Amino acid sequence: MLYYMVLKFFFLIVFLLLIILVFFSSRIKKKKIFVFNFVLLFIALTSIVIFLNFSNRNTDTVYNPPVFDGEKIKPGFFSEKN
C-alpha cells in the first residue's frame, strides 16, 4: 500500500511540474498548449480511474460501531464477513 501512495505522490509532482512548465512558458504556441492540456487531463483521469479501481482491496470487512453498555464505551472494530 505504501508503494501506491509513493507512486501517487510521484505522479502528482510530475503533473504539477508539467502544468507549471506549460503555463509559464512563452515559447509554446497556443495550439500546442491546448493539445498538451487535453493529454494531461486524459492521463490524470485515467490514473484516477485506475487507482480507484485497484484501491478497494479490503471490501470483506464490516465496521462495528462503538457501543455504550451503561458504564463504558466499547470501541468500534472491523470484523470479517461470515
Is the entire prediction scored with pTM above 0.85?
no
Residue 68 or residue 48, greater confidence: 68
- Whether 15 has a pLDDT exceeding 80, the answer reads no
Amino acid, single-letter form, for residue 8 = K
* Residues 27-53, mean pLDDT to the nearest whole number: 77
- Residues spanned by the domain of 25: 2-80
Give residues with Cβ within 8 angstroms of 73, minimum separation 6. Answer: 66, 67
Number of domains in the chain: 1
Q: What is the pLDDT of residue 81?
A: 65
Query: Poorest-confidence range of 20-24, 30-34, 37-41, 76-80?
Result: 20-24
- Whether 66 has a pLDDT exceeding 90, the answer reads yes
